[in-house]
Structure 1
Amino acid sequence: MAARKSLVHPVLFSNHYGIPAAALNAAGLLDPILNSDTKLFIDPLLLWKSQNPLIISEGRTAVETNFQNVIGLLDISEAEGDVAWRGAYKALNLDERAETSLGYGAAGTSGSSRPPELRNGILRTAKQIITLGEKNPTMIPLMGLFEAGVGPDTLSDMTTNFLLPTLARITEEFCVANSLPVREFAPQYNGRKLPANPYHASLPVLLVPRDLLRDLPLAADWADVSRVILEVREIRDAVNAMFGNFAKATISQKKAAVRRVALSSPTLLRKLINAVAVASESYDEKADLDGYYQFRTILTEDPSPFQGRLTAPSTRDGTTLLKTVTDIIAQYTAMVEDNNMWELLWHGAVPRHERASQLLFFAVANVMCAVNNVDISPETNSGGGPVDFKFSSGYRGRVLVELKLSTGNVVHGYKTQLEIYKKAAATSAAVFVVMDLGKMGRKLRTIEKLKADAEARGEKTSEIIVIDGRRQVSASKR
């Protein structure tokens, strides 16, 4: 997998190719960031719920045929490593797919092969399931339930490999309809003419229907899996008998327990497969709890509201850098508190996740700097962590900005995480932003005391800024 780097300037497919983001939305396709992976995944169980015409007409068949091929070969295999086993191994393609810009990467997108033992582990478990008499192709997407090391990216890439011809056709038809430049790539894309990714010249971009995407496939999301298990009484009772309290078990313990119980009985196995398949749902675009879609909206909307909110620094030094960063935070604070941007932090009465607040801050800072010709670029690790600001040309200073929700572990973030990030970035300049969505309690007082105690010892501390992101009464009701 590619090394995790910081993302500086996100480039959306729509921006690079000069088409309205609305065109992708109307087609039900994700607008990918070409120079970064988005932490969404293709869930194979969602294929049978997709409304995309090509997924319905050929994608489902392609995936099911490939799954059946693997199962059929395993069924006739008499020993691990024989001809049929090797055929199943080859058919179960787990190579990472950089073309979709999905997964856990950051700057740049991933693309490599997974270790042979991972494939063999999946095949061994599938063989056990077949021995129980269950040959439902749905078993393969559910390997994340049983196998250590099988995560959402594995399931997503496996499905993408099987869907490759269909995704290529979806992409080609969209590009032709919108007059986008395309060219032929490797034979694996069935001769389709596809758009190039400027950050991966040898690779095309593959557009993915949004209704195939989850933040985590259900088989890898243990909050959902636990809920599903509780709905299957026999599995719930058997698993709880092992642990007493399934909720307190580690993920590896949960996988081992579910595997042991499910593989003990064809009836239990079938109930588990059916329950998980029914429960799978795509990422909720309207709720957008992780902020993936509102992030794209800010990057593609009219930037005029951000004009005049920031002044280019007159000097180039670390002190000025810190002031510019705090100016950005001050403007962001004003937009949240006084210009109704707080609404983007909530879905109705439910606060969006911390990741949504971080992405919102990153997008606003990125647009604000660009539209006001300020030579400072926000960086973020798309897999999580701090927002890291640095001047993009000629500046040696670096300032970290760590944003935490008041509902989360604020004290740990200030006391531990921020110090680790500062050391990694070789800087002592940092700002700790607390987005107040309620449930603050004594957290603010605790970190303010930590700051005061450190200053009394003569240490350089991180500034603390609190933004009031709590739900407000609309102006018409005040």
Structure 2
Amino acid sequence: MQFSEYFEIAVDDEDDWFDPILDTDTRLFVDPFLIFKESDGPWSTAHQELIGYFDRAFKLLSGHEDNRSSLQYKRVVGLMEFHEPEEFCLGYVATGTSGAGAGTGLAKQITEAIREAVKRGLDKGMAHFEELGVLVERINRDRISDMTLSILKHRFIEYTQKIAGELGLELQPLEVANSVYEPMRKRWVTGTFDLPRNPFTGKAVLLVPKRFLRELPTLNPDDWFDYSETTLRDDLNLTVMENVNSKEIVRLARTRAELIREWTKDREGQAARPYDVDRDPKGFHNWNRLAARFVSSHPISAQDGESVHDFMGRVVATFKRYIEHERGWSLLYNDDTNKPKHEVSVQLLFKGIVQYYCLANGVRVDREVYLGKGPVDFAFTRSAFERVLLEIKKMTNNDYWDGLEKQLTSYLTSDQCGFGWFLAVRYDDRPVSVSRTKDLPKRTASAARETGFDLRAEWIDARPKASASNL
């Protein structure tokens, strides 16, 4: 459910703020480079505040970078501990809106990056803390976004209060973790603010400007490597540099630190390129709105005495109809390349359809539930005695048959659940897709006989179809 849907407000492309999905994190990230590009208005000083936070860490560690047991080093580790800012509903979390943030382990990793920067003189004149992500591994887009949101959280609180006031929304006094920084004690503390409440978490909702969102940070390790590749190749007398992994990029960056500052200076001349939130070419969030529209015109009600397993069968059939006959398949392809989206896209679209049916019929939906050796895609529960697990796989997935015969059955065993569904999504007519479509019924029946579980499978035809006007 989106913010606008819950608060019953109309939104359009002219609105400045991103309309978040309240019960699932959207896989978009706040890019500090886009904040850097703000030359006037209330956000024009935000990037300097962001860099100032890291400047304090540089100054604290300078002169102590070789002593990891020093008080200064430990204080910097404390400064780099950021809790996942779940109020924004952004990032990589597959289920709900509560992620990992930067715990002590990652805080030490960031501190190591600061240490490497100090040793190489990059602490002087740093204008973009994303440079740290080139010096160590694991400082990825999620972490960069989380750090940005955490350090500037007070600004996003003010922004949200401004938008909420303009919309006339009801606000509640809510605690916001790690929203106030105490410079004397060098730690983040909880503050209480009047803000909109997320009905799914009971916590505050914080909004962000759409123009700050990207799929990847502008300044990222791969972009540094692309910028520096020719120089590195010439200097290292290499004819080709292919399949360079993140560890190798870090090693190369440490040997040629001057290229990092040269790279960021070059990129400053580029125009800001935020993700097109309104068009949503990758389908990161519009699936929720489109799914809700379909469900409202295609209601399903549980029948008397109907099991959850049978109810899910009717829901699966409705989803199949949506994809195959209501142009739902078009949401599973990237607008800019016409190539199939990542498998998570079909999972999110499926969630968007089934969550409304299940909510209306007393069935709880949980996504990415960890059972045994890994997470099952979906669990549907009506009571302690009525539960169904469901897996979704692209037909071209290398783990396709394992998804049915090993993963799903393993999850059912761990969960002591006897009912499972396997959804196979077909995007093309390649031989592997044709054969897997043909073999799905018998392989499902065989797995059911061998395990004793009640297994059911359905394949979804997501191949592009001509519109009626072109027939």
8 Å CA contact 2:117–2:132 kept in 1: the answer is: no
**2:156 aligned with 1:153:** no
Q: 1:68 maps to which residue?
A: 55
Q: CA deviation at 1:172?
A: 0.8
* Distance (whole Å) between structure 1 residues aligned to residue 228 and residue 199 of structure 2: 48
Q: 2:324 maps to which residue?
A: 337
8 Å CA contact 1:235–1:262 kept in 2: the answer is: no
8 Å CA contact 1:391–1:397 kept in 2: the answer is: yes
8 Å CA contact 1:34–1:199 kept in 2: the answer is: yes
**2:463 aligned with 1:463:** no
Q: Measured at CA, do residues 355 and 288 of structure 1 come closer, stay the same or move farther in structure 2, by a change above 3 Å? A: farther
Q: 2:334 maps to which residue?
A: 347
Q: 1:5 maps to which residue?
A: none
* Distance (whole Å) between structure 1 residues aligned to residue 277 and residue 380 of structure 2: 32
The one-letter amino acid of 1:103's match is G
Q: 1:237 maps to which residue?
A: 233
**2:268 aligned with 1:267:** no
* Distance (whole Å) between structure 2 residues aligned to residue 464 and residue 300 of structure 1: 25
8 Å CA contact 1:39–1:102 kept in 2: the answer is: yes
TM-score, normalising length from structure 2? Answer: 0.79
* Distance (whole Å) between structure 2 residues aligned to residue 45 and residue 144 of structure 1: 14
- Per-residue CA deviations over 1:229-270 (Å, capped at 9, x if unaligned) read 2442346538998998642x6xxxx33322222222343333
The one-letter amino acid of 1:159's match is T
* Distance (whole Å) between structure 1 residues aligned to residue 125 and residue 16 of structure 2: 29
**2:246 aligned with 1:255:** yes
Q: 2:296 maps to which residue?
A: 304
Q: Measured at CA, do residues 53 and 436 of structure 1 come closer, stay the same or move farther in structure 2, by a change above 3 Å? A: farther
**Secondary structure in 2 aligned to 1:347?**
coil
8 Å CA contact 2:292–2:353 kept in 1: the answer is: no
8 Å CA contact 1:343–1:471 kept in 2: the answer is: yes
* Distance (whole Å) between structure 1 residues aligned to residue 40 and residue 199 of structure 2: 27
Q: 1:196 maps to which residue?
A: 197
Question: Structure 2: which 5+ residue stretches go unaligned?
Answer: 181-189
- Out of 22, 28, 31, the position equivalent to 1:43 is 31
Q: CA deviation at 1:433?
A: 1.4
Q: CA deviation at 1:212?
A: 2.5
**2:353 aligned with 1:360:** no
* Distance (whole Å) between structure 2 residues aligned to residue 292 and residue 378 of structure 1: 20
Q: 2:156 maps to which residue?
A: 167
**Secondary structure in 2 aligned to 1:150?**
coil
Further displaced range: 451-460 or 37-46: 451-460
- Out of 460, 467, 472, the position equivalent to 2:465 is 472
8 Å CA contact 2:253–2:260 kept in 1: the answer is: yes
- Out of 274, 277, 289, the position equivalent to 1:285 is 277
- Per-residue CA deviations over 1:60-109 (Å, capped at 9, x if unaligned) read 23213323333344446576465765664454452332322333445554
* Distance (whole Å) between structure 2 residues aligned to residue 15 and residue 30 of structure 1: 13
Q: CA deviation at 1:47?
A: 1.9
Q: 1:182 maps to which residue?
A: 171
8 Å CA contact 1:239–1:257 kept in 2: the answer is: no
8 Å CA contact 1:289–1:356 kept in 2: the answer is: no
Identity level (%) = 23
Q: 1:126 maps to which residue?
A: 114
The one-letter amino acid of 1:233's match is E
**Secondary structure in 2 aligned to 1:450?**
helix
**Secondary structure in 1 aligned to 2:255?**
coil
The one-letter amino acid of 1:361's match is F
* Distance (whole Å) between structure 2 residues aligned to residue 358 and residue 126 of structure 1: 38
RMSD after superposition: 3.8
Q: 1:4 maps to which residue?
A: none
* Distance (whole Å) between structure 2 residues aligned to residue 465 and residue 236 of structure 1: 51
Matched ranges for 1:128-143 at <5 A: 128-134=116-122, 135-138=124-127, 140-143=129-132
Matched ranges for 1:203-218 at <5 A: 203-217=203-217
- Per-residue CA deviations over 1:392-418 (Å, capped at 9, x if unaligned) read 3x4722222222223433233223332
The one-letter amino acid of 2:197's match is A
Q: CA deviation at 1:452?
A: 5.3
Q: Which has more helix, going by share of residues?
A: 1
8 Å CA contact 2:141–2:217 kept in 1: the answer is: yes
Q: 2:286 maps to which residue?
A: 294
Q: 1:441 maps to which residue?
A: 431
Matched ranges for 1:73-112 at <5 A: 73-75=60-62, 77=64, 80=67, 85=73, 88-105=76-93, 109-110=97-98
**Secondary structure in 1 aligned to 2:45?**
helix
The one-letter amino acid of 2:368's match is N
Q: Measured at CA, do residues 300 and 142 of structure 1 come closer, stay the same or move farther in structure 2, by a change above 3 Å? A: farther
8 Å CA contact 1:50–1:211 kept in 2: the answer is: no
Q: 2:413 maps to which residue?
A: 423
* Distance (whole Å) between structure 1 residues aligned to residue 49 and residue 433 of structure 2: 53
**Secondary structure in 1 aligned to 2:25?**
coil
8 Å CA contact 2:28–2:90 kept in 1: the answer is: yes
- Per-residue CA deviations over 1:348-372 (Å, capped at 9, x if unaligned) read 42222221111111111223445xx
Q: Measured at CA, do residues 284 and 150 of structure 1 come closer, stay the same or move farther in structure 2, by a change above 3 Å? A: same
The one-letter amino acid of 1:418's match is L
- Per-residue CA deviations over 1:31-79 (Å, capped at 9, x if unaligned) read 2344443343323233234699533x23223213323333344446576
8 Å CA contact 1:34–1:101 kept in 2: the answer is: yes
* Distance (whole Å) between structure 2 residues aligned to residue 161 and residue 457 of structure 1: 51
